[in-house]
Chain A
């Protein structure tokens, strides 16, 4: 089955700096890669996703890149703000959420 590894497990950055979270996956058939943000005590919420037919997607301060050959994808947050502090999960799937596999999460702390 699919195996998703996520690094780092914790990340501290100064406000205004950039943050990068990296994930690798094992199943070459995976074609959907969502990223979720979970604030303390709250539910996970989708912040961005990418499909295998594109290499990069951007939404304001958030961007995701995908390298299918190397089987890795990354989340980039620029100009970080304290409200970006949360746990971020990457995921990979070849059949939508029927077979989704999540990474182990990255706890991001943005220091004011």
Chain B
């Protein structure tokens, strides 16, 4: 295990539902990230948090709302999603935002129906 854990592993939700994805890292890293992986854009950076502060929002629609209560936990709150939001959502962490390795979680496979 790389020390980055995501739950749930699979999620099916309707377009009117509200759900949250959770990510937890036990590596002592201070930067955490959300990525979206789909057939159209294999690895697309969504949000970056450094020391609990959001430092990057890569033009993500407001129906995706991140939350980082501390350096070890990261959430992605979902509401009124569209079918095209179906994808694999990957969390990652790294020691700082510099040129160091990012460790990925296993991902949450999201299906919006």
Contacts and interface: CB of A to CB of B under 8 A. Distances in A.
A100 B45 contact: yes
Contacts of B42: 87, 89, 102-105
Interface in B4-59: 4, 31, 33, 41-45, 48, 50, 55-56
Interface residues of A, number: 26
Contacts of B41: 104
Contact of A97 (B44, B102, B105, B106): B102
Interface residues of B, number: 27
A71 interface: no
B42 to A, nearest CB: 5
Given A43-B105, A46-B102, A97 B97 contact: yes
A97 B104 contact: no
Interface in A67-112: 87, 89, 91, 93, 95-105
A111 B98 CA distance: 37
A97 B55 CA distance: 11
B100 A96 contact: yes
